[in-house]
Amino acid sequence: MSATETGVLVIGGGAAGIAAARAAHEAGATVTLVTLPGGATTQTAGLVWGLSRDVFRQWNDGAFREGGRYVTVGAWMHTTAFAALPSLLDVSSVTGTLAVVDLPTHPSWSARLVANTLGGRVVSAKDLPVSETFREAAVKFDTAGVAEGIAASLKSACEGCAAVLMPPVLGLRHDDVAARMAAVLGLPVGEAVGAVGDPPGVRAARAVRRWLPAAVTVLEGRATVAKGGRATVDVEGVGTVRAKAVVLATGGLAGGGIVFDRALREVTANVPVWTRTRACVSAPSGASRGADPTAWFAEGSPDGVGVRLDASQRVIDADGATAVARWLFAAGDVTVTPAGAGLLDALASGRRAGEAAAREAGGG
């Protein structure tokens, strides 16, 4: 197989990789993105961490607490990265009664509990789909007319309320369910944040994917950065790609960019891994004695572990100062991230790395 040439090669198609590809493309580079399926971006709860750190913090320490704020998100969107936030409901800004909608068979949604702590009122819809999981329920809400019908049946119960809070079921395939319900009810409709993998997370992943420009070539397969001084990447089942710059956006432990196998390793480019405070000691793979994971956790959460960058977004070497190579950049969870880093941090760092890589590719 002959080698393919590209300006910027992005490895990893999560939030960081997509943002990097977009930024590099917008900066004028020819971009190829190679990825495996899965990764953290596909598994989130759709929580908007850092949409505004403030909002998140309020949610974080207040959750449902009296006087606290409870941020609910419909279609997952970020004001600067994306177009709009059509159904973000900040409960703290609701003056008047909040109608909390019951979902009878779901074990982790207790409208009574939420309403009690928020000072809202429990309302029940007629013909609400009977489901055990939020995903199952969301599929039913996707069906044309169902959400509108439920909204109509809620109308009289919501009389006098200022806003309606739904469990996280507002559509799996569609992003406009909250808006459709709001139109029928004539009230803002928000959606409580659920757990990982719940419908808002699925919609968030879709919103991120939409961010990838059509002009970017996408390859599927496992990428390995070849040893040696050149920006050459082998893609399993595809062949060799030669690039002017490479962005490593392979994710953390969840994405597969970092692997714990008696020691923590970065497995795509084989570059040094760091915790937030120090370099991880490497151990030969297969050794029966090696790093003690308890010690590693004592230093912080596992998602903080990753490669270190210099100010120009380049991956640095074991000396903690020099870049591994002029052409190797990184972004997202594969890097040492601050505590609480999430989707938006991945997008932001992806954008920085993509711009830097495009500069390198353009100048080379």
Partner 1 sequence: MAIDLPARRPDCDVLILGGGVNGTGLARDLTLRGLRVILVERNDLAFGASGNSSGMIHGGPRYLTTHPEVTRSSCLDSGYIQRIAPHMIFRIPFLMPVYGRGAKAQVMLDAYDAFFAVYDQYQPLKRGRRHTRLTADEAVQAVPGLNPHNLFGAVTLDEWGINGARLCNANALDARERGATILVHTTAEEVLVEHGAVVGARVRDLLTGVASTYTARAVVNATGAWSPITAALSGLEGRVKVRPGKGIHVVLDRPITDVGVMCNAIDGRQIFIEPWGNTCLLGTTDDDTYANLDDLPVTTDEVRYLVEGIETVLPRVREARIVGTTVAARPTLYAYGPTEDALSREHEIVDHTAHGASGLYSLLGGKLASYRLFAEEAADVVARALGFTARCSTHTTPLPGGDRVPEPEMLAARFRITPYAAARLITRHGSRAEAMLSDGGRRGAVTVCTTEPVLACEVRYAVRVEGARTLADVSRRTNLAMGPCGGVECALAAAVIAGEELGWTAAEVRAQAASLIEARRRSRLPAIGVDQARAEGAVDATLRGLGRAVMA
Ligand X SMILES: Cc1cc2nc3c(=O)[nH]c(=O)nc-3n(C[C@H](O)[C@H](O)[C@H](O)COP(=O)(O)OP(=O)(O)OC[C@H]3O[C@@H](n4cnc5c(N)ncnc54)[C@H](O)[C@@H]3O)c2cc1C
Residues near ligand X (CB under 6 A) are 11-17, 34-36, 38-41, 43-47, 49, 196, 222-223, 249-251, 254-257, 268, 332-333, 341-344, 346
> Segment near partner 1 (CB under 8 A), from 4-12, 79-87, 255-263, 315-323?
255-263
Q: Can you read off the two tokens belonging to residue 349?
A: 């760092």
Among 80, 95, 156, 288, binds partner 1 (CB under 8 A): 288
For partner 1, the binding residues in 316-335 under the rule CB under 8 A are: 333
Residue 13: name its binding partner from partner 1, ligand X, none (Cβ under 5 to 8 Å by kind): ligand X
Q: Tell me the site size for partner 1, rule CB under 8 A.
A: 56
**Amino acid identity, position 78:** H
The Cα–Cα gap between 268 and 313 comes to 17
Nearest to 120 by CA among 138, 95, 84: 95
Based on the shown chain and the rule CB under 8 A, indicate whether residue 132 belongs to the binding site for partner 1.
Answer: yes
CB-count exposure of residue 281 (10 Å: 0-12, 13-18, 19+): exposed
Residue 63: name its binding partner from ligand X, partner 1, none (Cβ under 5 to 8 Å by kind): partner 1
Residue 38: name its binding partner from partner 1, ligand X, none (Cβ under 5 to 8 Å by kind): ligand X
Between 57 and 96, how does the x/- string for binding to partner 1 read (CB under 8 A)? --xxxxxxx--x----------------------------
Least Å distance, CB 84 to ligand X, is 18
Largest CA distance in the chain: 70
Between 97 and 116, how does the x/- string for binding to partner 1 read (CB under 8 A)? -------xxxxxxx-xxx-x
Based on the shown chain and the rule CB under 8 A, indicate whether residue 276 belongs to the binding site for partner 1.
Answer: yes
Residue closer to ligand X by CB (options 140, 260) is 260
Based on the shown chain and the rule CB under 8 A, indicate whether residue 244 belongs to the binding site for partner 1.
Answer: no
Q: What share of the chain is helix, strand, coil (3-state, %, to 5)?
A: 30, 20, 50
β 232-235/217-220 pair status: unpaired
Residue 330: name its binding partner from ligand X, partner 1, none (Cβ under 5 to 8 Å by kind): none
CB-count exposure of residue 21 (10 Å: 0-12, 13-18, 19+): buried
Based on the shown chain and the rule CB under 8 A, indicate whether residue 297 belongs to the binding site for partner 1.
Answer: yes
Least Å distance, CB 279 to partner 1, is 18
The Cα–Cα gap between 263 and 273 comes to 10
Contact criterion met (CB below 8 Å) for 239 and 233: no
The Cα–Cα gap between 350 and 16 comes to 4
Based on the shown chain and the rule CB under 8 A, indicate whether residue 292 belongs to the binding site for partner 1.
Answer: yes
> Segment near partner 1 (CB under 8 A), from 167-175, 181-189, 211-219, 253-261?
253-261
Q: What single-letter DSSP state applies at residue 304?
A: G
Q: What single-letter DSSP state applies at residue 280?
A: P
Residue 114: name its binding partner from partner 1, ligand X, none (Cβ under 5 to 8 Å by kind): partner 1
Burial profile 194-209: b = 16 or more Cβ within 10 angstroms, e = fewer: beebbbbbbbbbebbe
Based on the shown chain and the rule CB under 8 A, indicate whether residue 126 belongs to the binding site for partner 1.
Answer: no
The Cα–Cα gap between 134 and 108 comes to 9
Residue 93: how many other CB atoms lie within 10 Å: 10
Q: Can you read off the two tokens belonging to residue 43?
A: 């598994």
Binding site for partner 1 (CB under 8 A): 40, 43-45, 47, 49, 59-65, 68, 104-110, 112-114, 116-118, 132, 193, 195-196, 252-256, 259-261, 276, 288-289, 292-294, 297, 300-304, 333, 338-340, 342
